[in-house]
């Protein structure tokens, strides 16, 4: 676009801005190709959007780059600022605009889940937080550390560990009861209120609120002793002793005058921003987390606001947020505090009060010392990230050279087909960005064109055709597409690709050497070339391509197993007289799927409207027999 076109384009955008309302809402900036490149929220749409196109030369350099790319924009009006904030977060996740901070949190952070609506609540480790009315804690930074912590909690607090099915079907208390690490409510008369109290105490311990828990246990021990319930008092005494021993053995740094806080330091260089979070609980530094993200236009205040918006979407807020801005201005501080206020407003429900969270920008004392530690770690993480990026860039350059590609393959995808005797045929499409797995871009496909006898070539043709159609529609084509298979699979992929003349995506296939060759022999097949290229075991290109292919295979197999399991269980239901398609669907809906149906008691099955007694008994017997 020449300077005259830019001037005319800017004039047209300013004219469009003049008709905007002064309402809260979200604005979406678009490129000349119609792609959404930036999403923002506004208290007043006309004022916020107008600011981009007035005094362009006075904007920071990064913002000028964004404005030069804007060809059009659209808005979505909301009723409140909170609605705008929630919508902004959703749209950023959906469109992944290149000028927004994208917190690609693809680490598998676990949560703890407790459903207090159950008769006997369990403390369970789960991978996803759902809106199911249960109580969640997390996410936790390490699955291994969480399991150790939960195991320690089980040793102190005698909680139920067995599954719901085991609990309902056992004939005598298990060994945990005899070891005094479970109350044995499956067979021993137990007060539910006392048990729920144990669960809540265990959660206080897991959250690191040991001083609160110690005071509570001492109070409960005195109450039990006064009521001459000496067995209960002894249990509280033992818990206090175990808690004291664990508290003294933990090697966590003590922080003066700070009880419950997240300390967030950031460091910016060029197009990158690094965030480092220190977690202080009960006056102890218990852990940290770090993220390095692309930030093409944001200053520190806007970057910090965007980060907080995404980071606390699935995490609980502490009592204090200790933050820092190197170029601290009243406007920047107020902008960040306003974001935190909106996040809190978004968490508020009719039944809950607004949490009391203090946002602090310290000038001295222990909080400032913590900020300095967080900032040093943020800088180090950014430097380490750049070093690793350099190494990955070299790896991808070697892949480019080995395969004779026109450009460095920053985005590589691999398609793998999985089936067993023609049943539950599925495909996986995994994606690596800059040599690293981008799990939020992984996709599963169910093969529709092949039934009965397996046909890898037809399956590959279908999936490549569907992937290219999406690439043409969404403009998200990879730099290289790898097919798991040999020359035949590659030919099928090329046949499907030939239908999309507007796309030029390099395609290869990767297969192990046939015969009694060593397992590490890998061959790359190229279109229009008879002989494959053998990868050198241990080379950089070997590691990149085999890691990609193995990940695609793992992802396909996992989906295939789940789908085949559903098919097998569905066929089991079909074999039971009196259970037709509508009733099968109803049963799966009532019990939340096959697993829930397997755990159902006979009484629960009999309570389902439309299910005859004989069918309920047959269904219960089938699943009980399958669990033996």
- Residues 455, 503 within the same domain: yes
Per the structure, the complete domain to which residue 587 belongs is given by: 575-627
Identify whether the C-beta of residue 439 lies closer than 8 Å to the C-beta of residue 413: no
- Which residue is associated with the tokens 């480019």? 400
Instruction: Give residues with Cβ within 8 angstroms of 576, minimum separation 6.
Output: 615, 618, 619, 622
Report helix angle 487-497 to 456-474, nearest 10: 40
Angle at 617 between CA 615 and CA 623, to 5 degrees: 100
- Residues 243, 194 within the same domain: yes
Which long-range contacts does 5-11 make (Cβ < 8 Å, 24+ apart)?
6/68, 9/71, 10/53, 10/56
* Domain assignment present for 476: yes
Query: Of 233, 252, 271, which closes a domain?
Result: 252
User: E-strand spans in 317-386?
Assistant: 320-322, 358-360
Output the six-digit token pair for 55: 């005094």
What pLDDT does 500 receive? Answer: 93
* Domain assignment present for 563: no
* Domain assignment present for 528: yes
- Residues 245, 119 within the same domain: yes
- Which residue is associated with the tokens 């605009």? 97
- E strand or H helix that includes residue 277: strand 272-281
Identify whether the C-beta of residue 522 lies closer than 8 Å to the C-beta of residue 402: no
Identify whether the C-beta of residue 9 lies closer than 8 Å to the C-beta of residue 55: no
| Cα gap 83→21, rounded to integer Å | 16
What pLDDT does 307 receive? Answer: 86
- Residues 482, 616 within the same domain: no
- Residues 434, 545 within the same domain: yes
* Count of domains observed in the chain: 5
Residues of the chain under the 50 pLDDT cut: 1-5, 248-251, 350-351, 516-519, 626-628
What pLDDT does 510 receive? Answer: 92
What pLDDT does 296 receive? Answer: 66
Give the up-direction half-sphere exposure of residue 280: CA atoms within 13 A in the CB hemisphere. Answer: 24
What pLDDT does 587 receive? Answer: 78
- Tell me the pLDDT tens digit for each residue of 64-98: 788 888 889 999 998 888 888 888 888 887 888 88
* Other CB atoms within 10 Å distance of the CB of residue 360: 16
Which long-range contacts does 533-542 make (Cβ < 8 Å, 24+ apart)?
533/402, 533/403, 535/402, 539/398, 539/402, 540/394, 540/395, 540/398, 540/399, 541/395, 541/398, 541/399, 541/402, 541/403
Question: 114, 140, 130: which is closest to 203 by C-alpha?
Answer: 114
| Cα gap 202→157, rounded to integer Å | 6
- Residues 228, 281 within the same domain: no
Identify whether the C-beta of residue 22 lies closer than 8 Å to the C-beta of residue 48: no
CATH of residue 294's domain is: 3.30.420
- Residues 529, 466 within the same domain: yes
* Domain assignment present for 25: yes
- Residues 372, 454 within the same domain: no
* Domain assignment present for 236: yes
Output the six-digit token pair for 287: 């852990």
* Domain assignment present for 529: yes
Query: Of 71, 95, 119, which closes a domain?
Result: 95
Output the six-digit token pair for 342: 């909106």
Length of the chain: 628
Identify whether the C-beta of residue 37 lies closer than 8 Å to the C-beta of residue 99: yes
* Domain assignment present for 273: yes
- Residues 475, 580 within the same domain: no
210 strand-pairing partners: none
Beta strand pairing call for 423-433 and 443-446: antiparallel
- Residues 332, 210 within the same domain: no
What pLDDT does 407 receive? Answer: 92
CATH of residue 44's domain is: 3.40.1440.10
Query: What is 90-108 written as a DSSP string?
Result: HHHHHH--TTS------S-
pTM for the structure as a whole: 0.61
The DSSP call for residue 410 is S
Identify whether the C-beta of residue 552 lies closer than 8 Å to the C-beta of residue 484: yes
- Residues 358, 477 within the same domain: no
* Domain assignment present for 403: no
Q: What share of the chain is helix, strand, coil (3-state, %, to 5)?
A: 50, 20, 35
Query: Of 252, 269, 303, which closes a domain?
Result: 252
Angle at 97 between CA 91 and CA 99, to 5 degrees: 130
What pLDDT does 499 receive? Answer: 93
- Tell me the pLDDT tens digit for each residue of 107-135: 556 788 888 888 888 888 887 777 777 88
- Residues 444, 525 within the same domain: yes
CATH of residue 416's domain is: 3.30.420.340
Query: What is 543-593 written as a DSSP string?
Result: HHHHHHHHHHHHHHHHHHHHHHHHHHHHHHHHTSTT--HHHHHHHHHHTTS
């Amino acid at each position: 676009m020449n300077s005259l076109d830019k001037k005319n384009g800017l004039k047209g955008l300013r004219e469009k801005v003049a008709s905007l309302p002064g309402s809260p809402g979200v604005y979406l900036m678009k490129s000349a190709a119609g792609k959404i490149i930036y999403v923002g929220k506004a208290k007043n749409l006309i004022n916020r959007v107008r600011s981009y196109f007035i005094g362009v030369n006075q904007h920071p350099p990064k913002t000028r780059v964004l404005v030069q790319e804007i060809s059009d924009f659209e808005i979505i009006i909301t009723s409140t600022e909170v609605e705008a904030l929630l919508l902004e977060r959703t749209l950023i996740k959906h469109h992944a605009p290149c000028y927004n901070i994208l917190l690609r949190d693809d680490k598998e952070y676990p949560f703890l889940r407790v459903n207090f609506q159950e008769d006997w609540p369990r403390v369970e480790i789960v991978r996803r937080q759902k809106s199911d009315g249960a109580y969640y804690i997390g996410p936790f930074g390490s699955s291994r550390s969480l399991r150790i912590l939960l195991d320690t909690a089980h040793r102190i607090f005698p909680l139920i560990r067995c599954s719901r099915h085991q609990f309902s079907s056992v004939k005598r208390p298990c060994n945990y009861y005899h070891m005094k690490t479970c109350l044995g409510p499956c067979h021993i008369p137990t007060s539910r209120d006392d048990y729920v109290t144990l669960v809540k105490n265990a959660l206080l311990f897991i959250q690191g609120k040991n001083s609160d828990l110690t005071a509570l246990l001492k109070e409960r021990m005195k109450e039990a002793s006064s009521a001459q319930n000496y067995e209960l008092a002894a249990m509280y005494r033992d818990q206090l002793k175990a808690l004291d021993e664990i508290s003294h053995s933990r090697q966590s740094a003590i922080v003066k005058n700070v009880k419950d806080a997240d300390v967030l330091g950031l460091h910016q260089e060029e197009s990158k921003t690094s965030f480092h979070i220190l977690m202080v609980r009960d006056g102890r530094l218990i852990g940290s987390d770090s993220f390095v993200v692309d930030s093409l236009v944001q200053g520190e205040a806007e970057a910090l606001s965007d980060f907080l918006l995404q980071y606390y979407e699935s995490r609980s807020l502490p009592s204090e947020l200790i933050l820092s801005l190197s170029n601290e201005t009243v406007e920047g501080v107020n902008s960040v505090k306003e974001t935190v206020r909106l996040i809190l407003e978004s968490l508020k429900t009719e039944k809950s009060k607004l949490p009391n969270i203090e946002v602090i920008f310290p000038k001295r004392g222990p909080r400032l010392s913590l900020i300095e530690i967080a900032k040093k770690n943020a800088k180090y993480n950014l430097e380490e990230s750049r070093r690793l990026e350099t190494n990955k860039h070299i790896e991808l350059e070697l892949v480019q050279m080995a395969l004779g590609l026109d450009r460095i393959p920053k985005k590589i995808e691999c398609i793998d087909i999985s089936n067993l005797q023609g049943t539950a045929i599925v495909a996986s499409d995994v994606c690596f960005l800059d040599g690293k797995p981008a799990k939020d871009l992984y996709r599963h496909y169910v093969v529709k064109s092949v039934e009965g006898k397996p046909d890898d070539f037809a399956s590959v043709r279908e999936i490549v055709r569907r992937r290219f159609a999406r690439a043409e529609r969404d403009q998200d084509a990879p730099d290289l597409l790898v097919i798991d298979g040999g020359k035949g699979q590659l030919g099928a992929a090329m046949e499907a690709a030939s239908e999309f003349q507007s796309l030029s995506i390099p395609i290869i296939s990767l297969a192990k050497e046939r015969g009694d060759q060593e397992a590490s022999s890998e061959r790359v097949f190229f279109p229009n070339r008879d002989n494959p290229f053998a990868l050198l075991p241990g080379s950089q290109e070997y590691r990149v391509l085999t890691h990609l292919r193995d990940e695609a295979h793992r992802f396909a197999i996992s989906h295939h197993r789940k789908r085949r399991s559903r098919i097998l269980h569905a066929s089991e239901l079909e074999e039971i007289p009196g259970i037709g398609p509508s009733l099968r669907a109803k049963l799966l809906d009532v019990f939340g799927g096959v697993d829930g149906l397997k755990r159902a008691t006979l009484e629960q099955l009999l309570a389902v409207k439309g299910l005859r007694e004989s069918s309920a008994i047959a269904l219960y017997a089938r699943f009980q027999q399958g669990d033996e």
